[in-house]
Chain A
Amino acid sequence: DIQLTQSPSFLSASVGDRVTITCRASQGISSYLAWYQQKPGKAPKLLIYAASTLQSGVPSRFSGSGSGTEFTLTISSLQPEDFATYYCQQLNSYPGTFGGGTKVEIK
């Protein structure tokens, strides 16, 4: 199985900060990587797919990059509504796997 390791697992930041989350795959997954945002009690929301393509309706302050085994999600200027948990996910090969999550909290 492909393991996805996210770092950091917890991040404290202020409104307006630039935030970067990393996701490392245990083996190459080409660009089959997606990023999700999840708020408490809610279903995950797709932000980025194919490593760097912004899902329709998602603000442009979110961006993704990377290929192979190393990927990043960047929020260029953190907004109050961005405080949530973020997950990376791959389905390049089965079984699909998710990273352990990064909780972004208000400093």
Chain B
Amino acid sequence: QVQLVQSGAEVKKPGASVKVSCKVSGYTLTELSMHWVRQAPGKGLEWMGGFDPEDGETIYAQKFQGRVTMTEDTSTDTAYMELSSLRSEDTAVYYCATDKGGSYYRFGAFDIWGQGTMVTVSS
């Protein structure tokens, strides 16, 4: 059974960066396609980016291009999402989630989710 455990809440000042981790257990990270989704307080879900097994590349939403970096440490089965140049509008819960197709096929549906990490950006 795959489980995703995320790092704890963060408070950052505008202009700073934040790095959120997502530890995988039950599978190895190489067997999964990891995505990141965020949700501002009281708002809907927003896809930030993720690994496309069909291209073998990480795809970022244009909105976050240049500010977001998604990386993986396969030695510890931990995925990371780093967002830079933070502004107040980045205040949100950030989720990691895996595609149901694993690292082989893009189902385009996220079956396993982390518990979420609250990131607050405030001066």
Residues of A participating in the B interface, judged by any CB pair closer than 8 Å? 1, 32, 34, 36, 38, 43-46, 49-50, 55, 87, 89-92, 94-101
With a CB–CB cut-off of 8 A, which chain B residues contact A95? Answer: 47, 49, 59, 61-63
**Interface size of B as a range:** 20 to 34
Docked-complex contact A96 and B107, CB < 8 angstroms: no
What's the Cα separation between A40 and B28 when bound, in Å? 30
Residues of B participating in the A interface, judged by any CB pair closer than 8 Å? 35, 37, 44-47, 49-50, 52, 59, 61-63, 95, 97, 99-100, 106-111, 113-116
Chain B proximity of A31: nearest CB distance (Å): 9
Chain A proximity of B56: nearest CB distance (Å): 14
User: Chain A interface mostly helix, strand, loop or mixed?
Assistant: loop
With a CB–CB cut-off of 8 A, which chain A residues contact B114? Answer: 43
Docked-complex contact B109 and A43, CB < 8 angstroms: no
What's the Cα separation between A100 and B43 when bound, in Å? 8
Docked-complex contact B59 and A94, CB < 8 angstroms: yes
With a CB–CB cut-off of 8 A, which chain A residues contact B100? Answer: 46, 49
With a CB–CB cut-off of 8 A, which chain B residues contact A49? Answer: 100, 107-109, 111
Docked-complex contact B109 and A34, CB < 8 angstroms: yes
